[in-house]
Structure 1
């Protein structure tokens, strides 16, 4: 059974060696081979779906079925031009879907490639280089500066190493590891060299957990957009099938020509099925993606645009997104009798610029920025920081005068200095203040003689400052109805300080407390025991308090990664409530980010997640909208839906605005499409069933479908409003409005039906309506019927194009935002083409002439205005009575 890292975190080196049945002499090649068979390779196992299967899946499912049925029906009735157009739509949708999935699959590939390639291992009593994938639990390896740690290891020999594990845990600074500590796979060694024992490999490593979480996040889960398309498609298909079935039933009952009846029914079915719906909406999103690209946001999954429009919670990592990812000097504390410049002078003496240490770098930058004069000096000796001494020390020489300067952990520097009790008390108070605000503090001191005590100069607080645009961006996000929750691997104090500055809120919790995985038991025990022991010595209460705090801080550091699980478990509903109310979480690991997103989604939130490291990949994949920030790792980019090219939250706010614009375009088209289908199919069915009258022919249905769908692509370029709150698909609301508009369209069709078929047929020479063209014989039913059908075709084409101007905005059609020039041109020109076809016929239909053409143009415009009244009544009713926005 493979060993998991949590099983051996708390074991001593000797117990760990015993558990793994190994020694400091390493394994033999024979034993290593045996274990390789037992544990498997130190790599990420991968399942590759066959290419044919990935392609086949593009043509299987509710949306492809809808298009394929339409294509089949077109072929059955011999409408090959429709068949070709529909098949093109099918393949375009399949290609776009395949391409998006291909990009998503790269996440696992990138994570796999991140594993180290080679490792120096102790086998058969000697160190040799092997492929890292051949490492097994129990191996003894050597790790040194510059190495990528190839597996989870326990450090067993050497002084210390400093490792950068920011891509795994999100910690912004390198972490010092010493003998007995665990170092994680894929961390980078920044300083030092040690011998280590391999304790976990492959998927059992900390890194492996991240990979498993990425795989766990459903790759093919349907987005809200896909669900909406399926539901709209199902609704329209069911209506169409029911209506067509009624037409066929009554046709057979009336002994109509069966082949002609079936052909007409099939053509009507093809026209009613919204085959263009997925394509039009995809084009709308693609245009939105292009607009986002101009704003430094690259979209890798189109449906993520729609998800972002409805996003109501944004989980943002701290480092690099909310903050500058650059350690900066805060307001320093200087002890009396010393100056600000002295503090930084001695700090520079105790530093080494060429080390490029992230703790020392801000000190040099501060000195340069503030023009602090540093005298020329000769470095005699430099002792780097180590986890035992907890400080650096330098012996320098200035004008034949020797100075010993030191900097490091403030508690250590204070205790080494010649401070009075009052000065010590003040210094410790400042250390506590800095710690409460999340600062990392350095103490600075110096002396002239080795045998003297150090002269304490002061404290230098360091922190990662917020980005200048973060506070304003968070404020705007709240105004847009998006709550920003900080999710960081840093400690609670740091998170609370940044959250306070940025106005995020003060409810920042440790994720360990939420999940009942806290080291409070250790802390309380350490506090009780240390107090009891220290009271045996002749110490003041203040000294006892200071020493207890120092011991407690040390215990916190030691057991920070060695969490024990609490016995009381919260109910999931309570956990969800806490997460919803929280403003952020600290001390977060990869599985915690995934957990937070998952719990919020269970509460019906649409969740966005920002990230930049390997540790963020699972949550980025799980989130409704995964956002890889500027400078993100390849793994994070591959897992994300949107990749930012510019730093900070400002880009995300711009992306939210663009996403909501795109959503409004999609919604207006969807309402239009439903309304048009109801208008045509309901009118056709009622006319045929009640009056035994076929309003238009099969050819006219095809022409109507083509003229209605082709220009509607211009909706992708329409001007629209930006909603102030997150927007979502609501089928009930959309169906209500589209149904009312559809019924209004049916009413207008039956009104013109009465005018022509009843009134004009009885009063051909009336003064109210245009005279019939001279080529129409009112006494000849076939001639008159052909004219009536042409009139209905012309009316339906023009009325359909005006409907989009009803659905594009909730306000009156003549109010801002005005339609774009492209939409106006496309709609009016195509409506005009329909009018010209109706007027002249072109041997396709019976011409109606200009008098009737202009009359129908005016008639449809009047009904367009009436439809806008209907829309406003429905919208106002839902806003006032139901409290919701329909459009």
Structure 2
């Protein structure tokens, strides 16, 4: 390889050659993607139909002379634009995070001498030295290795550090199987190596992933798409109705142009729900706050609602569904097998036989095995002040140390009585580790730990005197391996010398047993997967780990894991075949970033709304391509966090289930706010429209409409943002991605409620006139009647389609009662304060006027409940 790259493996490149190659290949950094100018990003925040509606409302209100309300709407537009502007540029942020993974310094050999240089100056052909604790500075072909193990979880999803060697790998080998390569940004767990740089900057695997991130176009969220569609619909509806009304008023009713124009402007103002963006933002903000308390940080407000629409969750395995902490789960002794409970490095759990707990001291053969696990081990456990445990060392050895601690044999205690006198460290060529210990009564014992085939080949007996049958033990090894476990064999022998040598390790060992180790599922993840499935959400696991391990974990999680499809299989399918295959498999192994992107695209092509979770650099493109990206905040990489919409601070998959539930609540409350605002705005517009068409005096003036819109937006509509979850929110299936924000059933309810409010308002207005009241009194009574009807309708909506004849209608949302009280106070000011009367042309009302308004509100409440009951009965009937 060195010769192919024109370099000398011993002396490296010359300074002149390195400089020439640096000019040719460029620095070992990722090129920055072109960015939009700041002014363009700002202008694009206003290219939204909903913003157009707000601007139109502001202009119309300004033309009416109400500068206060016009200023409020302008403020809403600017605040929304500012939020969008700040949150733009997610692709650039993700690329910056990927760039940060490149090592800052590198130890390079040039002209026969080692030099520490800026890693950005590395070029293909450079010979570099890496050792324990280093971050690999470029993609390197290994030339010499000494006990080299590299942690590649962030790049491949592999649970444990990978043993490296120099043997060539097949060209079709996946990244996780290329043992002769070390990749940019991965971490050297142990050992040292010499290698030649084969790729730098954008040509590295990390650079390729960065290019994928920049090429992915973020998808609009369901809420954004629905609000855009709604804004376009309502804009055209208002323009159309206003135009028709203008034509009718002039050519049919013969009204004067000026009076007609003011009336039509009032109609438009009444129809535009200018408070909707503020209410939606508040609902989303409340959901964001609740999710933050549940360890889910929302980076984009619409993502709150998107979670509630998710139909498929594609999730990484390592660190998301599992703890990313290796755990011993099986102990195979000559006399039988034990299972081990507990997970992670906390020494909490028990030994079990057939599901029943077994005290360790009742299993004589267990103690010698645990002694070997603790003594032939370089990892250590440390209890932390907060009650957690920290493991220092190799994850696999950490699992063995934890196992020994569970059995009552902490490594520190054993080491004090059995001091280590010599060590033969683990090396990938040998596949075992050996330690020599002096016993409390003198004498020396060698403990051997490693790959079963290597350890079994050195054994001639089994502890306890049972005959050694290699074939039977290999069958036990295969049984554990088929469950996705990494199997280690442990043995011992008594020796006379105080040094380890080749003859002492060649044979005559006594087999102590086998230990099966796996990165187990989080218990809460198993429950969360079941909860998601009960909610109609499919969970798919996509990992870079081995297929056998992935299938075993998938089965424990309750996924369809009869077989795990590999990334190599995906490469042989076209898009149509892939869409067929994803319908039947929930587990995908050895998946690269490109495979994850194809899987997400196939699911989206089937009409699914897809969430993707992950923590590694290899997950960043998929996190960005998914409808909703969820990154792990604790052990996740910066690249994953910056590419995501949601960051989980506790790294628990269970948190996603909580977030989905809250997302559904958010959508329900947004829909309730719409179902509330549209009938009220429609009623206001309907009152004006009916008056114009009938040639009657306006029951409510344009200024009074502005008052009604303002007070309802800051009181009643806002109360719906605090609604708790409806019963069974996680037992219903996800909403279809194409479902409109306003369904056909909602349209019927909106028109029905608006018609009742129009009738009540018109009726009170003409009733007041008929008994001799002045126009100002009649209009004040009409305004108050409309608001009373809106209050009663609010409590109709609080229970959704369930009946509202229950105590929870009043007590379930204290904010609603507070808002009603505030509205009563505001209406008292509107009705009885002289200064406000002068502005809005209102007048005091007598008790009978209030009585009629309250009575009509009660009638509306009852009629809506009857309509809901009819609707429920129709839904219950078989079609």
TM-score by length of 1: 0.83
Partners of 1:801 and 1:828 within 8 A in 2: no
Partners of 2:567 and 2:592 within 8 A in 1: no
Mapping for residues 616-655 of structure 1, pairs under 5 Å: 616-629=619-632, 630-655=634-659
Q: 1:129 to 1:255 in 2, by over 3 A?
A: same
Give the superposition deviation at 1:183.
Answer: 0.9
- Between Structure 1 and Structure 2, the one with more helix by share is 1
Aligned length: 795
Equivalent in 450, 461, 474 of residue 408 of structure 1: 450
Unaligned runs of 5+ in 1: 1-12, 517-568, 765-770, 777-782, 883-887
Q: Which residue of 1 aligns with 2:293?
A: 294
Please give the alpha-carbon distance, in whole angstroms, between the structure 2 residues aligned to 1:823 and 1:667: 17
Q: Which residue of 2 aligns with 1:357?
A: 394
Q: 1:296 to 1:276 in 2, by over 3 A?
A: same
| SS, match of residue 580 in structure 1 | coil
Please give the alpha-carbon distance, in whole angstroms, between the structure 2 residues aligned to 1:613 and 1:810: 43
Q: 1:744 to 1:190 in 2, by over 3 A?
A: closer
Mapping for residues 276-675 of structure 1, pairs under 5 Å: 276-335=275-334, 339-353=365-379, 356-372=393-409, 374=414, 376-398=417-439, 399-418=441-460, 423-448=469-494, 450=503, 453-457=507-511, 458-516=513-571, 569-629=572-632, 630-675=634-679
Equivalent in 22, 38, 41 of residue 54 of structure 1: 41
Q: Which residue of 2 aligns with 1:217?
A: 216
Partners of 1:684 and 1:695 within 8 A in 2: yes
Equivalent in 785, 795, 804 of residue 813 of structure 1: 804
Partners of 1:391 and 1:407 within 8 A in 2: yes
Please give the alpha-carbon distance, in whole angstroms, between the structure 1 residues aligned to 2:443 and 2:452: 26
Q: 1:374 to 1:235 in 2, by over 3 A?
A: same
Any idea what the Cα deviations from partners look like across 1:386-409, whole Å, max 9, x if unmatched?
121111123444355343332211
Q: 1:840 to 1:858 in 2, by over 3 A?
A: farther
Equivalent in 222, 226, 229 of residue 227 of structure 2: 229
Partners of 1:289 and 1:299 within 8 A in 2: yes
Q: Which residue of 2 aligns with 1:677?
A: 681
Any idea what the Cα deviations from partners look like across 1:287-332, whole Å, max 9, x if unmatched?
1111122222222221111011112222232233332322222332
Partners of 1:798 and 1:834 within 8 A in 2: no
Root-mean-square deviation (CA, aligned residues, Å) is 3.0
Q: Which residue of 1 aligns with 2:843?
A: 847
Give the superposition deviation at 1:875.
Answer: 5.3
Equivalent in 746, 758, 771 of residue 737 of structure 1: 746
Deviates more, 1:23-32 or 1:301-310: 23-32
Q: Which residue of 1 aligns with 2:197?
A: 198
Q: 1:237 to 1:257 in 2, by over 3 A?
A: same
Give the superposition deviation at 1:654.
Answer: 2.3
Q: Which residue of 2 aligns with 1:10?
A: none
Please give the alpha-carbon distance, in whole angstroms, between the structure 2 residues aligned to 1:160 and 1:178: 9
Please give the alpha-carbon distance, in whole angstroms, between the structure 2 residues aligned to 1:263 and 1:748: 23
Q: Which residue of 2 aligns with 1:138?
A: 125
Partners of 1:793 and 1:838 within 8 A in 2: no
Q: 1:378 to 1:811 in 2, by over 3 A?
A: closer
Give the superposition deviation at 1:218.
Answer: 2.4
Deviates more, 1:852-861 or 1:98-107: 98-107
Q: 1:690 to 1:585 in 2, by over 3 A?
A: same
Q: Which residue of 2 aligns with 1:826?
A: 819
Q: 1:63 to 1:598 in 2, by over 3 A?
A: same
Partners of 1:169 and 1:589 within 8 A in 2: yes
Partners of 1:347 and 1:363 within 8 A in 2: yes
Q: Which residue of 2 aligns with 1:520?
A: none
Please give the alpha-carbon distance, in whole angstroms, between the structure 2 residues aligned to 1:277 and 1:117: 49
Q: Which residue of 1 aligns with 2:866?
A: 869
Q: Which residue of 1 aligns with 2:359?
A: none
Please give the alpha-carbon distance, in whole angstroms, between the structure 2 residues aligned to 1:134 and 1:594: 32
Give the superposition deviation at 1:625.
Answer: 2.7
Please give the alpha-carbon distance, in whole angstroms, between the structure 1 residues aligned to 2:55 and 2:688: 24
Give the superposition deviation at 1:721.
Answer: 0.4
Deviates more, 1:89-98 or 1:866-875: 866-875
Equivalent in 41, 44, 62 of residue 75 of structure 1: 62
| SS, match of residue 218 in structure 1 | coil
Q: 1:118 to 1:447 in 2, by over 3 A?
A: same
Partners of 2:313 and 2:611 within 8 A in 1: yes
Please give the alpha-carbon distance, in whole angstroms, between the structure 1 residues aligned to 2:408 and 2:780: 86
Give the superposition deviation at 1:141.
Answer: 1.6
Please give the alpha-carbon distance, in whole angstroms, between the structure 1 residues aligned to 2:13 and 2:864: 82
Partners of 1:590 and 1:619 within 8 A in 2: yes
Give the superposition deviation at 1:576.
Answer: 2.1
Partners of 1:243 and 1:681 within 8 A in 2: no
Q: 1:699 to 1:673 in 2, by over 3 A?
A: same
Q: Which residue of 1 aligns with 2:17?
A: 31
Any idea what the Cα deviations from partners look like across 1:542-577, whole Å, max 9, x if unmatched?
xxxxxxxxxxxxxxxxxxxxxxxxxxx434233123
Give the superposition deviation at 1:604.
Answer: 1.9
Please give the alpha-carbon distance, in whole angstroms, between the structure 1 residues aligned to 2:70 and 2:29: 49
Give the superposition deviation at 1:87.
Answer: 0.8
Q: 1:92 to 1:49 in 2, by over 3 A?
A: same
Unaligned runs of 5+ in 2: 169-179, 337-363, 381-391, 496-502
Partners of 1:798 and 1:831 within 8 A in 2: no
Q: 1:836 to 1:739 in 2, by over 3 A?
A: farther
Please give the alpha-carbon distance, in whole angstroms, between the structure 2 residues aligned to 1:234 and 1:691: 31
| SS, match of residue 60 in structure 1 | coil
Please give the alpha-carbon distance, in whole angstroms, between the structure 1 residues aligned to 2:518 and 2:549: 8
Give the superposition deviation at 1:124.
Answer: 4.2
Please give the alpha-carbon distance, in whole angstroms, between the structure 2 residues aligned to 1:73 and 1:744: 26
| SS, match of residue 469 in structure 2 | helix
Any idea what the Cα deviations from partners look like across 1:3-29, whole Å, max 9, x if unmatched?
xxxxxxxxxx36xx42x4444343333
Please give the alpha-carbon distance, in whole angstroms, between the structure 2 residues aligned to 1:739 and 1:582: 41
Please give the alpha-carbon distance, in whole angstroms, between the structure 1 residues aligned to 2:768 and 2:289: 53
Partners of 2:564 and 2:585 within 8 A in 1: yes
Mapping for residues 755-770 of structure 1, pairs under 5 Å: 757=766, 764=770
Partners of 2:140 and 2:198 within 8 A in 1: yes
Any idea what the Cα deviations from partners look like across 1:731-768, whole Å, max 9, x if unmatched?
275354234432443255347646865x887xx5xxxx
Q: 1:32 to 1:127 in 2, by over 3 A?
A: same
